[in-house]
Structure 1
Amino acid sequence: MSLTNSLRPGGKHGLATTERRDPIGYAVAALSRLAQSELLDRVGLRRQAEQAVHVATRSGFRTLTAASRTFTRAGASSRAGVRPASAPRTGVFDLTPTEDEQLLVDVVTELADEVLRPAAAAADEACAAPEEVLRAGLEVGLPVLGVPEALGGVSEERSAVAGVLVAEALARGDLGLAVASLAPGAVATALGLWGTEEQQQTYLPAFTGEDVPAAALALAEPTVLFDALEPATTATRTDDGYLLTGVKSAVPRAAEAELFVVGAMLEGSPALFLVESSTPGLTVVADPGMGVRAAGLCRLEVHDVRLPGTALLGETDGSTYAECVRLSRLAWCALAVGTGQAVLDYVTPYVKEREAFGEPIAHRQSVAFMVADMAIELQAMRLLTWKAASRAAAGKDVAREVGLARHLCAEKAMRIGLDGVQLLGGHGFVKEHPVERWYRDLRAIGVMEGGVLV
């Protein structure tokens, strides 16, 4: 199915016009812009530019954060901002995607296949996402999937299910590029869920406009046995705001980000803070890792950064921060499912075609059982992730469900990656096949915090 044919006829964006679309209908309307884009015809890897980035990341760089745009300050208001309504509860346990959700999955899957997958190997080598890939994600409306429709976004209801489906579909193309593409949307979604009226009016117009800023959710820290709910970064109250100090790690696209959501401990409870990149005291240090390299991961050093009182995002009792951690972990579970599916889709035809001792290796029970186990574990990961997302969309507590999904995905995703490499034998160790990259990416599921959000 082509991108153009996957969209319904009629309407401004090729969608059937109705008096009222449901939330996914708005999302598909945004996604349909990809069909009119020239990016698919001219997507390239800009090899010279990427080579320069690769050299920089190999030698390491240390720089001040990018100068951010001037965000237009809204009038002072501490009132709660617009919140997306919880999805209706039907009382029926059914995780089958609706027709519109499946349409959304089909469009994003084709984006992953036609744009992300071809660019993945070079982006992994360069430790940076190509501009064309990032622009394609913007043109399909990824940053506003979690923003309320009243604020210029596409969702009238909680969009955790749509976010999980999109993350899974993108990760089938490449996990690192998926993280890079979804990073701005994590900050926009956080503003939609917890921002005050002033914060939403100040920052969200940039995400719903044409020139969407790079942004990042910074929760992880380079600490042994790091506990996401006990950050070492500290925030101290001052007469006119807060003083922030600490180090964040694995921050996607930090070198170019214009806005950060940073987690810190405030008076014994973790909280979230909005930090513009132009704020004095911020430093970005290149920190490429074993996997997820295309996301441009960096450390964000925060040295006595002074923030206004309006920088606090959400509640100070730790509830907002805990919800943020859980929704971020849920997004990583979806990414694990998508990448695991890519591994399974790749090794299944391989073992049927690869011959040893005069027959396909798939005829060996040890090989057949290994592939079957991968499929079983992947389906269990998917069901737990989707169930947690459906509860989050309904406004229910998801601590238990996210904990179960996180534990299973962290363990089984790594196993799926390892088995994928094992099934390819010597081919699994070389970069000619993408399975070695997927294995490195899947190793990150159990340790990554922040970066993405549903």
Structure 2
Amino acid sequence: MATPLEYSLRLLSNLSESAIAERLQLRDTIQQLVYKGTREGARVGKTFQRRFKDIQNLVPGQTLQKQTSSPSSLFDLNPTEEQQMLQEMLKSFATDVMRPHAEESEKQGRPSKDYFHQLQELGLPLLAIPEALGGAGQHRTPLTSALLAESLSYGDMGLALASLSTLGFINAVTEYGSLEQQGRYLPALAKDEPLYASLALMEPKLRFTTDHMATIATPTGQGFLLKGEKNLVVLHDLADVFLVFAECPGHGPRAFFVEANTPGVHLEAESTMGLQNAALGRLRFQDVALPKDALLGEGNPYHHPSLVDLSKIGLCALAVGPCRAILEYVIDYCNARVAFGEPISHKQAVAFMIAEMAIELEGMQLLTLRAASRAEQGLDFHKEAYLAHIQCIDKGMQIGTNGVQLLGGAGFVCDHPIERWYRQIRAIGVLQGSLPV
């Protein structure tokens, strides 16, 4: 079974041989990272050999489980070496591939086939799928998933949401799905021509809450009868399978596998303020008959609040990326914009505003990583996820607003990406259940 370091090296080696590495002029950099990682692997090899006996008693057939490091009161902000390698690779992808695609994909209302092809070369779903099921994963790592979301959303939040929709589905299935369900869906998502998947939690009703839904899955003799409507579903007309959350009488909210071609499932595009390139839309379910094994986990325990909290962490990570992009953009703009004989960044009012944006951004990232870290350690993380979500909703909008304001009239027009990032950040306050880490 591949370790995280081995997976990173394999991913980077494959990427160095791809056309995208040549196009982005990353081949030499990636090969240097592979060399450095190989040298590090040799250094720790003896340590792994000494501890090999500790893992010989694992139960055969186990699938991906959450990585549970020893709970600690210490909070280390430094990513591991393999996480750093992935972040550097994804940041290059975000700036060199995602940003050039962002404007046109927003006009088209979906990512292009060319973008999906380049995304597939990264092999991100393999990171979350167990090796036994066609992937290269060893542990469920919410912290790594959060870092991936942050790195990709630095390029464009809408494209990041579309890119990671399938990964969110995989995380939910590996966390709560039965062995049979994991074997049914995960290998198909690891293929060279994979399926696309999405989660459907939001509903178009006043004062919607995630703990009580209008969509109903009524038990029948053969399974369940699904009725209701979901909105703001990512890749609504591109996904092959959905994980739909519905109220199950007597059991509360549960999740159900619903394939897009199931009779009674109707798709409808949705016009939104931002995130148009995530292909958001509605799903309507008119007496959709589902088999018994469509219930996520079947007889396994399922904890709906935890999945919602994991999704909040994913959304917070998505918010950090564009906020960092806004901060960097306004710093460059204010340093270059000259008024009254000097850059406007020399004005205290401007400098203080930029400094405040940087402080709030660090707070957003800190709370998000803290919540993800506790989830990874197997500790309770409900409070941390809530605090991170509130911080990102409030301060994310503040950073976006100040970014537009610092550009003056230029921030209002579409010549600069600030207005798009501002509209996308607004979704953090209304979008839930799309990306559990």
Report the TM range for the smaller structure's normalisation. 0.7 to 0.9
CA contact (8 A) 2:2 2:131 kept: no
Call closer, same or farther: CA 1:173–1:225 in 2, change over 3 Å.
Answer: same
Aligned length: 399
Q: Aligned residues: percent identity? A: 44
Q: 1:427 to 1:412 in 2, by over 3 A?
A: same
- In 2, are the aligned partners of 1:428 and 1:436 still within 8 Å (CA)? yes
Deviations 1:299-318 (A, max 9, x none): 11111111000000037899
- Distance in 1, matches of 2:323 and 2:270, equals 25
- When the two structures are superposed, what TM-score results if normalisation uses the length of structure 2? 0.87
Match of 1:150 in 2: 132
Paired residue for 1:264?
A: 246
1:198 matched to 2:180: yes
Following the alignment from structure 2 to structure 1, what is the Cα–Cα distance between the partners of residues 257 and 303? 13
Structure 1 residue 127 and structure 2 residue 109: aligned?
yes
Q: Following TM superposition, by how much is the alpha carbon of 1:39 offset from its aligned partner in structure 2, in angstroms?
A: 4.3
1: distance between equivalents of 2:376 and 2:19? 34
Secondary structure of 1:427's counterpart equals helix
**1:35 shift after superposition:** 2.8
- Secondary structure at 1:443's aligned position in 2? helix
Change (3 A) 1:137 1:28: farther
For 1:289-300, list aligned pairs within 5 A. Answer: 289-300=272-283
Q: Write the mapping of 1:22-37 to structure 2, written as runs, cut at 5 A.
A: 22-30=3-11, 32-37=13-18
CA distance in structure 2 between the aligned counterparts of 1:146 and 1:260, rounded to whole angstroms: 18
Matched, 1:344 2:327: yes
After superposition, the Cα gap between the structure-2 partners of 1:319 and 1:397, relative to the gap in structure 1 and judged at 3 Å, is: farther
Of residues 67, 77, 89 in structure 2, which corresponds to 1:95? 77
Residue 145 of structure 1 aligns with an amino acid whose one-letter code is L
Q: 1:286 aligns with which of 269, 274, 279?
A: 269
Query: Is the counterpart of residue 411 in structure 1 residue 408 in structure 2?
Result: no
Match of 1:106 in 2: 88
- Out of 340, 351, 360, the position equivalent to 1:368 is 351
Aligned equivalents of 1:302 and 1:429: distance in 2?
A: 40
Report what 2:45 is aligned to.
none
Alpha-carbon distance between aligned partners in 1 of 2:301 and 2:408, rounded to the nearest angstrom: 47
Q: Is the 8 A contact 1:144 1:188 kept in 2?
A: no
Whether contact under 8 Å (1:385, 1:402) holds in the other structure is yes
Match for 2:67 among 86, 89, 93? Answer: 86
Superimposed CA distance per residue, residues 128-181 of structure 1 (whole angstroms, 9 cap, x where no aligned partner): 111122222222122232223333333322211111111000001000000111
Residues 333-390 of structure 1 deviation map (CA, whole Å, 9 limit, x = unaligned): 0010011000001000111111122221111111111100110000000011111111
Residues in 1 aligned to 2:267 and 2:142: alpha-carbon distance in whole angstroms = 30
Q: Work out whether 1:326 is the aligned partner of 2:299.
A: no
Between Structure 1 and Structure 2, which shows a larger proportion of helix residues?
2
The equivalent position to 2:297 in structure 1, one of 299, 314, 317, is 314
Please say if residues 344 and 350 of structure 2, whose CA atoms lie closer than 8 Å, have aligned partners that are also in contact. Answer: yes
Cα distance change of structure 1 residues 316 and 373 upon mapping to structure 2, 3 Å threshold: farther
* Structure 1 gaps, min length 5: 1-19, 44-79
**81 and 286 in structure 1: CA distance in 2 versus 1, 3 angstrom threshold:** farther
Q: Any gaps of 5 or more consecutive residues in structure 2?
A: 25-60
SS in 2 for 1:397: coil
SS of corresponding position for 2:267: strand
The structural deviation recorded for 1:281 is 0.5
- CA 1:189–1:283: 2 relative to 1, 3 Å: same
Letter matched to residue 217 of structure 2: A
Mapped to 2, the partners of 1:448 and 1:433 lie a distance apart of 25
Post-superposition shift, 1:28? 4.8
Question: Is the 1:31–1:139 Cα contact (8 Å) retained in structure 2?
Answer: no
1:153 alignment partner, SS class:
coil
Deviation at 1:99, TM superposition (A): 1.1
Partners of 2:196 and 2:239 within 8 A in 1: yes
Query: What is the CA–CA distance in structure 2 between the aligned matches of 1:342 and 1:437, rounded to whole Å?
Result: 11
Letter in 2 for 1:200: Q
2:244, 2:257 → 1: CA distance?
A: 7
What secondary structure sits across from 2:409 in the alignment?
A: helix
Quote the Cα distance in structure 1 between the aligned partners of 2:21 and 2:276: 23
| Residue identity matched to 1:433 | H
Q: Distance in 2 between matches of 1:404 and 1:314?
A: 29
Provide the rounded CA distance (Å) in 1 between the counterparts of 2:108 and 2:253: 35
CA pair 317-155 structure 1, distance change in 2 beyond 3 A: closer
1:193 and 1:371 map into 2 onto residues whose CA distance is: 40
Secondary structure in structure 2 of the residue aligned to 1:224: coil
Q: Secondary structure of 1:275's partner?
A: strand
Question: TM-score scaled to structure 1, two decimals?
Answer: 0.84
1:25 and 1:247 mapped to 2: Cα distance?
43
